[in-house]
Amino acid sequence: MFLNLFLAAIASSVVSLFEETMSQLIILASLKNIVAGVGGNTAIQSLTVVTRGLATDDFSFISYGQAVIKEISVGLVIGIATGLGAGGLTFLWKHDVMVSIIICISMIFNSLVASIAGSLIPITLKRLGWDPAAGSGVLVTMITDIFGFFSFLGIASLGLKFFG
């Protein structure tokens, strides 16, 4: 839990890097958790599938590489679907094309990173001789939170700089 607290503080520090951007577009503060939340759930799905495969020896029928590619493909589809959905809902709610595009793109990127982390971290922990079920969740959550906040707020900063 202390590791989780420390990693959450790192994620919060990433958000603080973009305080100026959020002050210019206050809606970002209310939307940033959607990106991180969907990314986290995408990562946990990949993590669960791979960890279960490691525990039940499913990888005797499929290679680690094939499993990772499958999870990345699923994560990309989830990112595109949820990104388009969030972008559409954001546009209907706030009528802001730029913010709608920002959330769509960042959700696609974050779901892609989430599925990569969710599939590679348990395999890596297993290869290191550590229990993938015990340590993967905290690491995957930290990666998706940090990348989700960074991608969403970073893309928003670029959008404000070039189109704002």
Q: How confident is the model over 32-82, as pLDDT tens digits?
A: 889 989 999 999 999 999 999 988 887 777 888 899 999 999 999 999 999
Q: How confident is the model over 71-120, as pLDDT tens digits?
A: 999 999 999 999 999 999 999 999 999 999 999 999 999 999 999 999 99
Could you give the domains of the chain? 2-163 (1.10.357.20)
Q: Which residues of 72-107 are buried (b: 16+ CB within 10 A; e: fewer)?
A: bebbbebbeebbeebbeebbeeeeeebbbbbbbbbb
DSSP 61: T
Contact 145, 8 (CB under 8 A): yes
Which helix or strand (DSSP H or E) is residue 60 part of? none
Contact 121, 140 (CB under 8 A): yes
Angle between helix 27-56 and helix 97-127 axes, rounded to 10 deg: 30
Distance CA(135)–CA(17), nearest Å, equals 28
Q: So what's the pLDDT on residue 3?
A: 77
